[in-house]
Amino acid sequence: MTKTALITGASTGIGRATAQRFQAEGWNVVATMRNPDDGADLAALDNVLVTRLDVTDADSIEAAVAAAIERFGAIDVLVNNAGYGAAGPLEAFPPERIRRQIDTNLIGLIDVTRAVLPHMRAARSGVIVNISSVGGRMTLPLFSLYHATKFAVEGLSEALTFELAPLGIGVKIVEPGAIRTDFSGRSLDFVNDESLAEYQPTIGKVLASFQSRQGENDGSPPEVVADVIWTAATDGTDTLRYTAGEDAAEYMKNRKALDDATFMAGIRARFGLDG
């Protein structure tokens, strides 16, 4: 029987590439996104259902899962990919934007997982692939909220393995590094309050560092992450974490090898924050 994957955030980037990869492998694909019109080309492919799913809208989650079951009869793999990055000094964020970051990257992932779990539990099989980031294991300046959500995804995913493995359900974490997507554009929410003068030197240095590196290394193409997601979903192992991209592997190697003070000093030096 043909297997089915449900993928959130499939309109662009990693989600779109993952939908295309699973479809090319002969799977049924439920490609979900906030605006299904953005997935017209995916909908034209065989065995692909494009449907609306906003991870912050509980009704849309339930409707998308129901549509997937009605169309294909099962959900064998869930890829929790939808998310975005909030950046800026924590003190500058109004409460509603703090909640948006947490609701999208963490609560939304939890809600989609909870909606799919009854079907996997009944089948006593399935794989949940949660897209984290190297930012779930290390941090960069001004991304405290984003890192908070990705560290939480790591902990949630690791803990879930204990309760879901006895039910035949696997949990995987994919940790991309820099990826050639629109994360820094559409998916990046930068917040600043220039009246908070004390933060402006740090903001200026961090932004200057990012700008100076533009074009130097645009990151891996999203297809690299899609390949890793495919492996994680189908390799049949109990491997928990998978890095995606050469830079991700290098970051994780250094994070494991270095103590906190040394690693963080390297980050400060990279952004010119050590003087």
Concerning whether 242 is annotated as a catalytic residue, the answer is: no
Q: Distance of alpha carbon 8 from its chain centroid, rounded?
A: 9
User: Which residue of the set 150, 199, 220, 242 is catalytic?
Assistant: 150
Three-state DSSP state, 273: coil
- For residue 249, the tally of other CB atoms under 10 A from its CB is 14
User: Which residue of the set 3, 11, 133, 146 is catalytic?
Assistant: 146
Please give the Cα distance from 235 to 79 (Å, whole number).
Answer: 15
**Smallest Cα–Cα separation from 179: which of 87, 266, 246?**
246
CB neighbours of 223 closer than 8 A, spacing ≥ 6? 17, 21
Concerning whether 84 is annotated as a catalytic residue, the answer is: no
Question: What DSSP state is assigned to residue 170?
Answer: E
User: Which residue of the set 3, 11, 132, 199 is catalytic?
Assistant: 132
Please give the Cα distance from 78 to 72 (Å, whole number).
Answer: 14
Active site positions, annotated: 132, 146, 150
